[in-house]
Chain A
């Protein structure tokens, strides 16, 4: 959409294509939190196409609040050192899907302000996808916060369920599963931000 008269027209999006593997993934891309961090949780899932087939050439980016509920301001996502507990939490992760469409990242549970449920902002890129897609991964642990969240409350239950990760009671550290369906019966709710204007609270 073209905006107001003062606005420059934007550069159009193009697909990420199939050959990003030597450029975009980086060491530690999925290690937002070190394994030894006592608060570390794993989020993982699969990306599926409209036929239910795995998407083996997608990139999933994660961006989230720190545990205290604010957007992190620390650089260093691309320079993570394995196992260094002293590194600041940057809130950003990037993982490519494997041959079975699976992705996985280890992070800290984000904080949220009152009336909002904890969530991770997710951006999906893939060959065949001409313009990336945004969604949100919500943590399932606090049903009252989920019920109060304005975006979730605006969706019918079946669609709302596509945004809420499933807790997996396996292993010592918490794990959450979040599958992404680009199309079809279980199509994930994808978000459009272009119109939000009321931003003064966040400056």
Chain B
């Protein structure tokens, strides 16, 4: 039997309640999703069952550095997803901007941010996406940027559509933009998804809700910022990204 949305909602509520009980009895806050989250069916066979092996106090130098990207890698044009195909794509034009920070709040400058997303109709320009929504000849949905000296990044794109998937019966992903981010250390690597405020599908999505901590989950939702909207042109969203990683990458000097 294919589970219904209600079945999945109940499973997700049970995971959240178990986490909240743990917190109430002194358990730690957990920021990242567990790799085993049964409501997201695809995680079942793709998560390790043995504990990760801690590399404590003895890293390789290479793990505390990361690949270097520069202006040979990324052109400023790569950050405008509406300008890549000789015509305006369908949909509402938006800008997404924010800062890339480490856990000490310091800007992470000169690092690579990559995004990808569905078009306004909820269709990816990917050969395996079979959703019967139209492709847009003026939109591929992939962009790149380097963070500035203050850690800031800026993209111009269109509001992505929600799209169906096969996790359960009548399953829909909320609108989201995928992000891939590098820090100064390879071990700060982050791939995540940014969501939009007020989307009713946020309550029903097992990918988002795999982040069981309410505060952590809220950090995946961008803020609509009217000051970033441009008259007669685009709506503005703000989303800051904080890289996790080894304590060595964010601890204060001398500690």
Instruction: Please give the residue numbers on chain A whose beta carbons come within 8 Å of chain B beta carbons, in ascending order.
Output: 1-4, 6-24, 49-51, 53, 55, 61, 63-65, 70-79, 90-92, 110, 113, 116, 119, 121, 123, 125-134, 136, 150-151, 154-155, 182-184, 187-199, 201-202
A23 to chain B, nearest CB (A): 3
Contact B103 A65 (CB under 8 A): no
Give bound CA distance, A13 to B216, whole Å.
Answer: 10
What 10 additional pairs, Cβ within 8 angstroms, besides A14-B220, A15-B42, A132-B191? A6-B104, A14-B208, A15-B207, A18-B128, A21-B127, A65-B62, A121-B63, A130-B33, A130-B40, A134-B187
Main secondary structure of the interface of B (DSSP, over half): loop
Contact B55 A14 (CB under 8 A): no
Contact A3 B247 (CB under 8 A): yes
Contact A9 B215 (CB under 8 A): yes
Residues of B within 8 A of A70 (CB): 61
- Known contacts A75-B68, A77-B67, A128-B43; is-contact A198 B58 (Cβ 8 Å): yes
Tell me which residues from 220 to 255 in chain B have a Cβ below 8 Å from any Cβ of chain A. Answer: 220, 240-248, 250-252
Q: Does B21 contact A (CB under 8 A)?
A: no
* CB-contact partner of A195 in B140, B217, B220, B246, under 8 A: B246
Can you name the residue of chain B whose Cβ is closest to the Cβ of A119?
Answer: B60
Contact B33 A14 (CB under 8 A): yes
Can you name the residue of chain A whose Cβ is closest to the Cβ of B240?
Answer: A11
Contact A63 B67 (CB under 8 A): yes
A-B interface, 3 closest residue pairs, ranked by CB to CB distance from nearest: A128-B42, A75-B70, A23-B116
Contact A71 B61 (CB under 8 A): yes
Q: Does B172 contact A (CB under 8 A)?
A: no
Residue of A3, A90, A155 with most chain B CB atoms under a 10 A cut-off = A3
Interface residue tally on B, bucketed by range: 35 or more
Contact B60 A193 (CB under 8 A): no
- Known contacts A2-B29, A12-B211; is-contact A22 B142 (Cβ 8 Å): yes
Residues of A within 8 A of B32 (CB): 10, 12-13, 130-131
Instruction: Please give the residue numbers on chain B whose beta carbons come within 8 Å of chain A beta carbons, in ascending order.
Output: 28-35, 37, 40, 42-50, 52-74, 101-105, 114-116, 118, 124-129, 140-142, 144, 178, 180, 186-187, 189-193, 207-208, 210-211, 215-217, 219-220, 240-248, 250-252
Residues of B within 8 A of A189 (CB): 50, 53
Give bound CA distance, A199 to B208, whole Å.
Answer: 34
Give bound CA distance, A183 to B190, whole Å.
Answer: 22
Residues of A within 8 A of B56 (CB): 195-197
Contact B70 A182 (CB under 8 A): no
Residues of B within 8 A of A77 (CB): 67, 69, 73
Residues of B within 8 A of A134 (CB): 187
- Known contacts A71-B65, A78-B74, A197-B57; is-contact A8 B178 (Cβ 8 Å): no
* CB-contact partner of B62 in A49, A63, A78, A132, under 8 A: A63
Give bound CA distance, A193 to B241, whole Å.
Answer: 20
Residues of A within 8 A of B52 (CB): 133, 190-192
Contact A182 B45 (CB under 8 A): yes
